[in-house]
């Protein structure tokens, strides 16, 4: 009995596919161009935990504002955080700025993965991606797309994140000495366009034959993952003070470390699971006629969901900002490093949205929804009182006696006369034209 050996995936097959189907991206060099390490590094940092569609407009604006790594290094931190606002994971922006300063001081980007790892904010994936794509080093670059491709290709049963060392090993073994940068981008493109999380287009895949998960018919079940545990809901209050005259908003800067570090925000209460909005005015930044707005601002962070109650107040033009805070005119808010959740808060303050009404529970007929519920302990009806009828009974009318047939008709019919003992007709004859024979 002969046993067929499973086919091994070949890098050449993937590169042939890539030459025909490669995506055109703002940070990706064309086949005849030399990659720019600054653009490669900047795009890889932006793409961490963020989609290509979200990154594209930010990447273009960021390059217009900071066209070189030297320009980024010389920029104030507030400008960098403002340009990053909306991309999330703001520690990346602080590390980006620190890394730019280190590269500018050195005069260039390091060209090996080991040297790149020493820079602020550069981990194993970013180091491998920049080394491979920008400097053509034979390094593996393993992101989420690559993890999906490799776990399916080799049917890796280990769950993520424990499977990452094994995934890196099998990926590194496939990296060719020729065109390693194109190979890194090819695997990413394969995962993004063919080997998708749901309904992968296996028939179009250059690695269809050697893919073990496809052979087993289990491709959509890889990679194996441990189910994420949703964090506890936290609540808090946001205070939006609007200055009369220029509609300036009271803002402050969050501490440099921790969640949303060094970003701008309207003054906030602590975010706690048992926060009571009824006591929120104790956390207000200044004395004013605070008005609680209808509805809530909801936002999801990686580890927990958040619900904010928004309080708004109009203050006089002469109002001084409390220590550590500032008034920013509404027209200048775009220059503030406001993260997405804070933009939601300000939008709600200027245009509050009430909570949507809860839909009726399914299964109950519409005709019954308008019927009021009977009180649980309602007094019973007295049994001695009979139910009243909804209409007055009308007695059945007595039928009229049938009239005798007119004599003149009988005379015309030949003088016929009914016998004295003949039974009368059942009912009166219908009016109208007499019947003819």
Please give the Cα distance from 337 to 90 (Å, whole number).
Answer: 10
- Catalytic, out of 10, 44, 220, 336: 44
Q: Which of 178, 157, 177, 179 is nearest to 167 (CA)?
A: 157
Known catalytic residue at 357? no
Nearest to 15 by CA among 159, 168, 174, 183: 183
Share of the chain above pLDDT 70, in %: 80
Tens-place pLDDT, residues 138-169: 999 999 999 999 999 999 999 999 999 999 99
What is the pLDDT averaged over residues 41-45?
95
Tell me the C-alpha distance between 147 and 159, whole Å: 11
Q: pLDDT tens, 327-354?
A: 999 988 988 989 999 999 999 999 887 7
To the question of pTM greater than 0.85 for the whole model, the response is no
Q: What is the pLDDT of residues 106-119, one digit of tens each?
A: 999 999 999 999 99
Quote the CA–CA distance of 72 and 63 in Å, as a whole number.
9
CA–CA distance from 313 to each of 75, 276, 309, 385 (Å)? 35, 20, 14, 62
Across 17-46, average pLDDT: 94
pLDDT for 400: 59
Strand-pairing partners, residue 240, are 312
Least confident of 27-31, 56-60, 123-127, 401-405: 401-405
The per-residue pLDDT for range 382-397, each reduced to its tens digit, is: 444 455 555 555 555 5
Of 199-213, 223-237, 422-436, give the lowest mean pLDDT range: 422-436
User: Per-residue pLDDT for 435 more than 80?
Assistant: no
Give tens-digit pLDDT for 228-284. Answer: 777 899 999 999 999 998 889 999 999 888 888 888 999 999 999 999 999 999 999
Report pLDDT for 402: 52
- Inform me whether the pLDDT recorded for 415 exceeds 70: no
34: DSSP letter: P
Show Cβ contacts of residue 182 under 8 Å, excluding neighbours closer than 6 positions.
15, 18
Instruction: Report d(CA 239, CA 291) in Å as an integer.
Output: 10
């Amino acid at each position: 009995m002969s046993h067929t050996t499973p086919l091994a995936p070949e890098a050449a097959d993937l590169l042939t596919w890539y030459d025909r189907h490669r995506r055109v991206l703002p940070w990706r060099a064309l086949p005849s161009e030399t990659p720019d390490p600054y653009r490669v590094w900047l795009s890889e940092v932006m793409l961490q935990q963020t989609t290509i569609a979200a990154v594209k407009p930010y990447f273009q604006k960021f390059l217009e504002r900071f066209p070189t790594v030297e320009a980024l290094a010389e920029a104030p931190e507030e400008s960098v955080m403002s340009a990053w606002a909306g991309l999330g994971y703001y520690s990346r922006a602080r590390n980006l700025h620190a890394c730019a300063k280190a590269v500018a001081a050195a005069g260039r980007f390091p060209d090996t993965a080991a040297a790149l790892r020493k820079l602020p904010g550069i981990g194993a994936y970013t180091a491998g991606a920049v080394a491979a794509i920008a400097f053509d080093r034979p390094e593996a670059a393993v992101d989420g797309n690559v993890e999906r491709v490799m776990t399916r290709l080799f049917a890796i049963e280990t769950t993520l994140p424990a499977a990452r060392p094994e995934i890196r090993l099998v990926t590194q073994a496939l990296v060719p000495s020729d065109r390693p940068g194109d190979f890194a981008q090819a695997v990413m493109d394969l995962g993004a366009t063919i080997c998708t999380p749901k309904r992968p287009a296996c028939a179009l895949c250059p690695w269809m034959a050697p893919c073990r998960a496809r052979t087993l018919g289990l491709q959509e079940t890889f990679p194996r993952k441990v189910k994420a545990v949703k964090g506890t809901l936290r609540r808090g209050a946001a205070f939006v003070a609007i200055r009369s005259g220029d509609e300036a908003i009271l803002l402050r800067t969050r501490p440099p470390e921790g969640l949303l570090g060094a970003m701008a925000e309207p003054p906030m209460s602590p975010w706690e699971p048992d926060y009571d909005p009824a006591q929120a005015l104790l956390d207000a930044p200044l004395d004013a006629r605070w008005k609680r707005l209808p509805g809530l601002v909801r936002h999801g962070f990686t580890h927990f969901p958040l619900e904010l109650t928004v309080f708004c107040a109009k203050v006089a033009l002469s109002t001084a900002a409390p220590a550590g805070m500032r008034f920013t005119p509404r027209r200048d808010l775009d220059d503030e490093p406001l993260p997405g959740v804070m933009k939601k808060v300000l939008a709600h303050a200027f245009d509050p949205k009430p909570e949507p009404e809860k839909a009726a529970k399914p299964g109950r007929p519409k005709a019954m929804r308008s019927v009021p519920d009977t009180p649980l302990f309602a007094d019973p009806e007295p049994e001695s009182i009979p139910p009243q009828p909804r209409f007055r009974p009308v007695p059945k009318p007595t039928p009229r006696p049938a009239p005798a047939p007119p004599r003149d008709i009988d005379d015309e019919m030949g003088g016929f006369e009914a016998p004295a003992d003949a039974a009368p007709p059942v009912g009166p004859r219908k009016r109208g034209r007499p019947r003819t024979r």
